Each structure stands twice: as C-alpha cells, then as structure tokens.
Amino acid sequence: MRWFKVAAIAGGILIAFLIVGSVIGFVMHAVVDLVIAALVVGVIVVAIKMARSGRHVTRRRADREVRDPARGRTLPRADVEPVSAHTQAREAKLDVDEELARLKREMGG
C-alpha cells in the first residue's frame, strides 16, 4: 500500500506539471500572437499616415532630386527664393557699415 501512495503522488505531480506547462505554453503563445498583431497594425498605421501625408520613403538621395535632363544639373527648388551673390555682398556690406558705426559711437569718435 505504501508503494501505491508513492506512485499516486508521483502521478499527481506529473499531471500537475503537464497542466501547468500547457497553461504557461498557452499564455506564451497568446502573448506572441498579440505582439505580432500589434506590429502588423503599427506598420499598417504608419503606411496609411505616410500615404495621406504624400511623403515617400526613399533611401537614396538621387531618387529625391529632380534633375534637368538636358544639362544633368539639379533643378532649383520651388519653395526657396534664389539669392544672388550680389544681393549677399550688399547685405554683408550693410552689416559691416552698421557695425562700424556702432563701434564709433561706443568709442566716442
């Protein structure tokens, strides 16, 4: 009778181990499924946002530039006003003249 009790306890432990292992396996499988579903939904949301904003995902700079086919140069951007070298030189000269006038006033001469 003593061996029967030991065998019954060992069988109970084995059954409990199998049940606990299957429950843990089920929970882990459910967590992995949820993570994969969250990643898929996240990718879809990002793709929809990118499509609605009109932006394109590119990896190379050459694909983003618009080139003049006749000359092979990059075309000027429409959202930036061109600034000539003459305009920049005139603004720099005005800045220097203003700075000299300010220094003269501060030095008293």
Q: Any idea where the domains of the chain sit in the sequence?
A: 1-56
The structure tokens listed for 73 are: 């140069």
Confidence tier at 26 by pLDDT (50, 70, 90):
very high
Model confidence at 80: pLDDT above 80: no
Closest CA to 65 of 77, 83, 79: 77
The structure tokens listed for 82 are: 């061109």
Closest CA to 96 of 88, 12, 56: 88
Instruction: Please state the three-class secondary structure of 43-71 as a single string.
Output: HHHHHHHHHHHCCCCCCCHHHHCCECCCC
Please give the pLDDT value at position 85.
62
Are the C-beta atoms of 27 and 21 separated by less than 8 Å?
A: no
